Chain A
Amino acid sequence: MKTLVWVEHDGRTVRESTLAAVTAAGKLGEVHLLVAGQNIGSVATTAAMIAGVEKVIAADDEAYAHASAENIAPLVVKLMAEHDAFLAPATTSGKAIAPRVAALLDVMQISDILSIESKDTFTRPIYAGNAIATVRTSDAKLVVTVRGTAFEKAESQGGAGTIEAIIGTGDQGLSTFIGQERAQSARPELTSAKVIVAGGRALGSVEKFAELLEPLADRLGAGIGASRAAVDAGFAPNDYQVGQTGKIVAPEVYVAVGISGAIQHLAGMKDSKTIIAINKDEDAPIFQVADFGLVGDLFEFVPELTSKL
């Protein structure tokens, strides 16, 4: 089976979520990567060094500069004439592109896979991860998005893929990029952070959220996350959200501060290796998944913890 993996990148580096998709693709067959973007020479070179990659297909075109699903999908469809499976990381860009590709190929996509049972059978979470479905496809070609926390990340070094430059399929004229606001942060990105400190509504304000969590995160070298309630209340920006509809994370250590643990939040973090919960309500559902719990006032405990680390 020949697989094609869409590479998510920022113009310089390959995003880590792609490495998990490469591992998944390797379980299915030969791994080819698609690097689409503008001035992507160095990304293509980096991608070719990922362990297990046989070929990098590089499409350099302004139309692919902002991962436009409208422009990338026809390119993938064209390449799928010679591939059997298309895989994308289950990130916002991957989720935007893959179903469009699937529809154009008349294939039913399998979203957010957790494991590959055989070449046509996969497991995936449903109902916010409250159940795991095992599904088998009858489609001749596969279109799959891969949950980044469910597969080991391929080594970024050690591969020696060839690079093939191709002409793109151009701008479809359906969308125009206007701008983006990137959250500026020196902290590790949530989906790749080893430690995450996450806050909930109990923090009470945007000031307290920052005042309590940032020093703790600094001490732990952690990324900062938030529950939906905290984001909705304006304590944290939306890309901090961990949960069913936010980011899915699985760090070594997840510290939940003032998060009660709604099932939608647990869906996004319960695969963390160690979960620590600090909450004043000892019956909060977060304690059912926490390895270590501290029951009490977070406004006392968090500064004390920070000072003692």
Chain B
Amino acid sequence: MKVLVPVKRVLDYNVKPRVKADGTGIELANVKMSMNPFDEIAVEEAVRLKEGGAVNEIVVVSIGDAKAQETLRTALAMGADRAIHVVTVEKVEPLGVAKVLAKIAEAELPQLIILGKQAIDDDNNQTGQMLAGLLSWGQGTFASKVELAADAVVVTREVDGGLQTERFGLPAIITADLRLNEPRYASLPNIMKAKSKPLVQKALDDFGIDLKPRLTTISVSEPATRPAGLKLASVDELVTRLHAMGVAK
């Protein structure tokens, strides 16, 4: 069985985002970039399925400029088999990404596509569901557990107020939530080995899809900041405050 895992390069999650002075976006020059953490979880899940014997090939794909190859190499070092780099310097919206991935899915015929549930830059949480819609596949969103059978996958989903378990016929989409697994660190030998794994480049234009953005970002601004608070000297002071707010019973 073949698994496809799309990955995205984003601002590293430990870096505090800074709004550009001209209000056009977030400062991404000379800051640490990494694989989107949810995508790491998606790659890890695919690798575990392969280690369990149910999967024999993992293909990773990324859409972006030359630097996207670093992210693909990271995925290869974690255990993916080969990579597809769809080259573009333009920003592609989730709807466009889903359309490109649908084309790749039609060519590669994976039985499972595992994505991160959201990218931590734009926080859209859309691509997996959109791809599932375009392909008319089931969507096991926000997965915290995945069990693969011959013709179906059983997914435990993190939903408001608890967990929901659903079965999806294959092929299917899974989007990874935080607690699906803990991604491994690639070992040095595997990082070296990843350098010789196959990575093909495709031009975004070759997909023949209209990717003109539908959304225009008019401005990006800092959120309202809260005024500095007060340090209280004792629990008694806090009790007084809580009574004043009328919340203490």
Q: Do A and B come from one complex?
A: yes
Residues of A with Cβ closer than 8 Å to B? 66, 68-70, 73, 91-93, 95-104, 106-112, 121, 125-139, 172-183, 189, 191, 194-195, 219-221, 228, 231-232, 237-239, 244-245, 247, 252-253, 263-264, 270, 274-276, 282, 287-295, 301, 304-305, 308-309
- The answer, yes or no, to whether B21 is at the interface (CB within 8 Å) is no
Q: Which chain B positions have C-beta within 8 A of A139?
A: 214
A182 to B161, CA, bound (A): 6
- The answer, yes or no, to whether B191 is at the interface (CB within 8 Å) is no
**A103-B129, A178-B166, A253-B245 as given contacts; A129 in contact with B236, CB under 8 Å:** no
Q: Mark B152-173, 1 if CB is under 8 A from A, else 0.
A: 0010011111111111110010
A244 to B127, CA, bound (A): 17
Q: Mark B1-18, 1 if CB is under 8 A from A, else 0.
A: 000000000010100110
The minimal Cβ–Cβ distance linking B134 to chain A, given in whole angstroms, is: 5
**A131-B17, A131-B220, A252-B245 as given contacts; A244 in contact with B166, CB under 8 Å:** no
Contact A134 B238 (CB under 8 A): no
Q: Which chain A positions have C-beta within 8 A of B118?
A: 245
A232 to B178, CA, bound (A): 9
Number of residues on chain B facing chain A (CB within 8 A): 80
Q: Which chain B positions have C-beta within 8 A of A112?
A: 123, 125
Chain B interface main SS type: mixed
Q: Could you say which of B63-71, B83-91, B139-147 contacts chain A?
A: B139-147
- The answer, yes or no, to whether B232 is at the interface (CB within 8 Å) is yes
Contact A180 B230 (CB under 8 A): no
Q: Which chain A positions have C-beta within 8 A of B144?
A: 238
The minimal Cβ–Cβ distance linking B227 to chain A, given in whole angstroms, is: 8
Pick the contact of A175 from B11, B93, B167, B178 — CB < 8 Å?
A: B167
The minimal Cβ–Cβ distance linking B16 to chain A, given in whole angstroms, is: 7
Q: Which chain B positions have C-beta within 8 A of A107?
A: 95, 214
Contact A220 B248 (CB under 8 A): yes
A64 to B241, CA, bound (A): 47
Contact A179 B165 (CB under 8 A): yes
Q: Which chain A positions have C-beta within 8 A of B161?
A: 182-183, 189, 239
Contact B130 A100 (CB under 8 A): yes
Q: Which chain B positions have C-beta within 8 A of A178?
A: 154, 165-167
Contact A220 B247 (CB under 8 A): yes
Q: Which chain A positions have C-beta within 8 A of B159?
A: 92-93, 180, 239
Contact B216 A138 (CB under 8 A): yes
Contact A134 B217 (CB under 8 A): yes
- The answer, yes or no, to whether B56 is at the interface (CB within 8 Å) is no
A220 to B242, CA, bound (A): 9
The minimal Cβ–Cβ distance linking A68 to chain B, given in whole angstroms, is: 8
**Listed A/B pairs (22) with beta-carbon separation below 8 Å:** A70-B132, A99-B126, A100-B130, A101-B133, A102-B126, A103-B129, A111-B124, A128-B123, A130-B16, A131-B19, A131-B221, A132-B222, A133-B220, A136-B215, A136-B218, A174-B169, A175-B168, A176-B168, A220-B247, A274-B245, A287-B229, A293-B232
Contact A308 B166 (CB under 8 A): no
A178 to B152, CA, bound (A): 13
- The answer, yes or no, to whether B104 is at the interface (CB within 8 Å) is no
